[in-house]
C-alpha cells in the first residue's frame, strides 16, 4: 500500500512544501483538493518530476450528483478537472453527491446520480482517470448528505458499471455512519480505489481515538490492495512528530513504508 498526506497537513504551507515533506517522510503522494487554486500547473509538474512524488488525488469542481438541473455544470467541471489531471499526472478525483433534495424521492435522486455518472464514464475512461465517490457521515460533519453508506455507494457503482468509477472508503466517516469497518473496508475492496483514515472521535491522526488502525490496515493489506491510503486528519501534536509516531506505532506493525 502507498501512503499520502492531504494539503493542510502543514498549515499555511504551500503545495511544494507538502511535496517536499512527503518525500522526506518516505510517503508517496499528496491529495490537493482544489486544483483550481494552483497558480502555475506547469511549475507544479516540474516540481513533481524533480521530487519523484506528486499530487495523487484532487476533487471535482462541482459536487452535486442528485440534482438534474446541475448536471451540465457538473460535467463541465469534470472536463476542466480532467485537463488538470492530465497536466499534473493525477490518477484520481474525488466527488461527493450533495445533500438530499427535500420533496424528491431517494429513488429519483439515485436515478439522476446514476445517469450523470454514466455520462461521466466515457470521459473518465478516455482520460484514464478514476472518479471516486465518497460517502460522508450525516451525524457529525455533513448533515443531509445524500450518500452516507458504503453498501449503497457500491450498489450505485455497480449499476453505472464503469472501471473508472469507484469508491473512496473513508474509515472515519464509515465508523460514524455504519461501524463494521474491517468487514466493509475489505469486502468492497474490488470497488475501492482509495482509503482515507482518521481516528474517531475528533478526526485526528490514527492512534488518538477508538479505531484500531493496526488491525484495520493489516486487514486491508491482506486483501492485496496496493493503492493509496490517505491521512485525511487533523493533528493533536506537531505534524512531523505525529507522522513519525504513526509510522512507529501503527505502520511498523502492519506494512513497510
Exactly one of 72, 134, 190, 248 is catalytic; name it.
134
Show Cβ contacts of residue 252 under 8 Å, excluding neighbours closer than 6 positions. Answer: none
3-state secondary structure of 174: helix
Residue 96: CA count within 13 A, CB half-sphere:
16
C-alpha cell at 237: 501534536
Q: How many residues can be counted in the chain?
A: 257
Is residue 232 part of the annotated active site? The answer reads: yes
Exactly one of 62, 232, 238, 248 is catalytic; name it.
232
Is residue 80 part of the annotated active site? The answer reads: no
Show Cβ contacts of residue 2 under 8 Å, excluding neighbours closer than 6 positions. Answer: 27, 28, 29, 56, 226, 227, 228, 229
The phi and psi torsions of 65 (rounded to 5 degrees) equal: -110, -5
Q: Which residues are catalytic?
A: 134, 232
Amino acid at each position: 500500500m502507498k501512503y499520502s498526506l492531504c494539503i493542510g497537513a502543514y498549515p499555511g504551507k504551500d503545495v511544494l512544501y507538502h511535496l517536499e515533506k512527503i518525500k522526506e517522510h518516505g510517503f508517496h503522494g499528496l491529495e490537493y483538493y482544489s486544483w483550481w487554486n494552483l497558480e502555475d500547473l506547469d511549475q507544479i509538474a516540474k516540481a513533481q518530476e524533480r521530487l519523484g512524488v506528486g499530487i495523487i488525488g484532487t476533487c471535482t469542481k462541482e459536487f452535486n450528483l442528485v440534482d438534474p438541473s446541475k448536471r451540465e455544470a457538473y460535467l463541465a467541471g469534470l472536463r476542466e478537472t480532467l485537463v488538470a489531471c492530465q497536466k499534473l499526472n493525477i490518477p484520481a478525483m474525488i466527488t461527493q453527491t450533495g445533500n438530499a433534495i427535500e420533496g424528491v424521492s431517494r429513488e429519483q435522486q439515485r436515478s439522476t446520480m446514476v445517469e450523470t455518472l454514466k455520462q461521466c464514464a466515457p470521459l473518465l475512461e478516455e482520460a484514464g482517470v478514476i472518479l471516486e465517490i465518497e460517502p460522508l457521515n450525516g451525524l457529525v460533519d455533513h448533515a443531509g448528505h445524500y450518500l452516507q453508506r458504503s453498501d449503497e455507494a457500491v450498489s450505485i457503482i455497480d449499476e453505472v458499471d464503469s472501471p473508472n468509477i469507484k469508491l473512496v472508503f473513508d474509515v472515519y466517516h464509515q465508523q460514524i455512519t455504519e461501524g463494521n469497518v474491517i468487514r466493509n473496508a475489505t469486502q468492497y475492496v474490488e470497488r475501492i480505489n482509495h482509503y482515507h483514515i482518521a481516528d474517531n472521535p475528533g478526526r485526528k491522526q490514527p492512534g488518538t481515538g477508538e479505531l484500531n488502525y493496526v488491525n484495520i490496515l493489516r486487514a486491508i493489506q491482506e486483501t492485496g490492495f496496493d493503492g493509496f491510503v490517505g491521512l485525511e486528519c487533523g493533528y493533536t501534536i506537531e505534524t512531523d512528530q505525529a507522522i513519525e509516531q504513526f509510522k512507529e506505532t501503527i505502520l511498523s506493525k502492519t506494512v513497510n513504508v
